[in-house]
Amino acid sequence: MRPRGSGTDHDRVTEIITGLNLSPLEVLALLSAIALVVARWLPAAARPRVTTAAGAVFLLSAISLCVTGIRWQLLPVLAGAAVAAPFAFSPLVRGRARRVRWWLALPGSLACAALITAGPVTAWAFPVPVFPEPSGGFAVGTRVLQWTDPDRPETFTADPLDRRTVVAQLWYPARDGSADVARARYLGRTEDEARTVSEALARGVGLPGFLLDGLTRARTHAIPDAPVAGAGERFPIVLFSPGSGGVRTQNTAWAEQLAAHGYVVAALDHPYDSAAVVLADGRTITTATVSTGDRDEDDRLGAGWTAIRAADLGFALTRLEGLDRGDGADTLAGRLDTGRVAATGHSMGGAAALQAARQDHRFAAVIDLDGYPRGPLSPDLGRPTLAVTQAITPDTDPRYLPQLTEVLTRGTATNYRLTIPGAAHLTFMDGPLYLPPVPSVVGSLGRAESPRVVAAATLTFLDSVLRNGSGDLAGGLSAYGELSVFQHR
């Protein structure tokens, strides 16, 4: 196993530059564009050299960007430089270094500077996500599986022969691979799949698709189809259901961190609920779950959708059990500890995890990431549960905390509610890595800290309940926020 965080020098340089969320080539284009605007204000002796050098660098970097692909964030930079260039080169072409009067040049320079500044600002607001390096002792592998349940009809279609199909992505402890091995794409197995999912996610929140085009460029730390790590040890399983309209990859940073610490994470796409699901035969299924605006009707619909997701979690566990019992042809055969399984989820996926654990005693623990409980509250939860929430404010649905408290109080095991200061609903997914850092949307923890805190808190819980870790679970969880403990009476 390699020590985590041992990336190449190129990775470290890129990581520094991505503080601005720009590639080295984009930084060159930006700096040369700025130089073209500033050149007009330099002393006469310096202007020709600066203008010529800046123009050459800008031209070469712009051509290179056209070849490699220009992000929309760089378009205002190119426009600003294109407007400034004629004014910068005109005195040189005419053989004179005289400048127009400053009060005539100033508005144009300011306009060009504003255009150029818009580039790094929008790149900072909508970046190509940079995933945190997992801190565990394992490298991370990933693979995508598709399963069809022959015993369950697809309720979202009218065809009585249509059977429920789910797509699962696994992240698992892997053998260390070469640093040159290509890493998995973020949103899909191919660029086309990633673009399809990215555009569907943007439509789901009412954004133009181009704003999230950085997601299609992102690479994670996982190695596709990497060999499983170790020499026969069995790894606990964490099943994950995304939020309403979410996708299986929405918690990749979290999943990679868990896998690096010795867990197998299986995250599901729920067809007709997830934003877009690309099946093995090339079909794309988009969401069919739409709110009506009527609270009672939406509660009824939500309970039904949650029940479908809960059944998907149970079915996925059955298929993982079959995978583990395989004859050795699959690399995960004999490596999945199906006796130590947690049901987890974000938002509606958290509600599905709660329901799955009620119905299926194969689940040994539950994690609900800011999910409103839906569906019946009986039978009582019989497994230790961690509910992680954002701060409750006057804008929070007034039914949320009482409903969640009732679920945790009625449980027959010791349950926990952890409120993380500075968190928002999207803190509990990858949103902080690629959305504008608006506290009401992604919280105020920051792009690096958000995934670290969520993963650390959930690992503390999982290590305790699935691996008989520290006996002071309450003390460990308290390090990450305000903790309430609910013990069965």
Q: What is the pLDDT of residues 51-84, one digit of tens each?
A: 999 999 999 999 999 998 889 999 999 999 999 9
pLDDT band at 19 (very low <50, low <70, confident <90, very high): low
* 11 domain-assigned: no
Q: Which of 273, 269, 237 is nearest to 255 (CA)?
A: 237
pLDDT in tens, 454-469: 999 999 999 999 998 7
Of 93, 125, 157, the last residue of a domain is 125
160 and 84 in one domain? Answer: no
Q: What is the pLDDT of residue 278?
A: 97
148 and 282 in one domain? Answer: yes
Is the pLDDT confidence value at 265 over 50? yes
Q: Packing angle between helix 24-39 and helix 47-68, nearest 10 degrees?
A: 150
pLDDT band at 102 (very low <50, low <70, confident <90, very high): low
292 and 433 in one domain? Answer: yes
* 9 domain-assigned: no
Q: What is the pLDDT of residue 327?
A: 65
225 and 91 in one domain? Answer: no
313 and 201 in one domain? Answer: yes
Neighbours of 356 (CB within 10 A): 28
Is the pLDDT confidence value at 30 over 50? yes
Q: What is the pLDDT of residue 100?
A: 60
Q: What is the pLDDT of residue 11?
A: 41
466 and 437 in one domain? Answer: yes
Of 70, 95, 125, the last residue of a domain is 125
227 and 342 in one domain? Answer: yes
Sequence letter at residue 119: G
Mean pLDDT, the chain, whole residue set: 91
183 and 57 in one domain? Answer: no
143 and 121 in one domain? Answer: no
* 297 domain-assigned: yes
pLDDT band at 88 (very low <50, low <70, confident <90, very high): confident
Q: Give the integer Cα–Cα distance in Å for 435 and 215.
A: 10
165 and 78 in one domain? Answer: no
Lowest mean pLDDT among 236-240, 264-268, 471-475: 471-475
303 and 225 in one domain? Answer: yes
SS percent in the chain: helix, strand, coil, step 5: 45, 15, 40
Domain that holds residue 466: 139-486
Count of structural domains, the chain: 2
Q: Which of 122, 17, 29, 20 is nearest to 80 (CA)?
A: 29
Taking the CA atoms of the chain, what radius of gyration do you get in angstroms? Answer: 26
pLDDT in tens, 278-296: 999 999 999 999 888 888 8
What is the average pLDDT across 221-249? 95
* 5 domain-assigned: no
What is the average pLDDT across 406-423? 96
465 and 336 in one domain? Answer: yes
Is the pLDDT confidence value at 8 over 90? no
pLDDT in tens, 271-280: 999 999 999 9
Q: Which of 135, 116, 140, 142 is nearest to 34 (CA)?
A: 116
Give the list of residues 6+ apart from residue 30 with CB closer than 8 angstroms, or none.
22, 77, 116, 119, 120
DSSP notation for 344-386: EEETHHHHHHHHHHHH-TT--EEEEES----S---SPP-S-EE
What is the average pLDDT across 127-146? 95
* 10 domain-assigned: no
pLDDT band at 124 (very low <50, low <70, confident <90, very high): very high
* 181 domain-assigned: yes
Is the pLDDT confidence value at 234 over 80? yes
379 prior amide bond cis, ω within 30: yes
What is the average pLDDT across 225-253? 95
Neighbours of 350 (CB within 10 A): 31
Q: What is the pLDDT of residue 15?
A: 39
CATH of the domain at 260: 3.40.50.1820
Q: Give the integer Cα–Cα distance in Å for 434 and 222.
A: 18
pTM: 0.90
Q: Which of 13-27, 92-106, 108-122 has the highest mean pLDDT?
A: 108-122
Q: What is the pLDDT of residue 10?
A: 42
Q: Give the integer Cα–Cα distance in Å for 25 and 28.
A: 5
Is the pLDDT confidence value at 253 over 70? yes
* 372 domain-assigned: yes
* 133 domain-assigned: no
Is the pLDDT confidence value at 25 over 80? yes
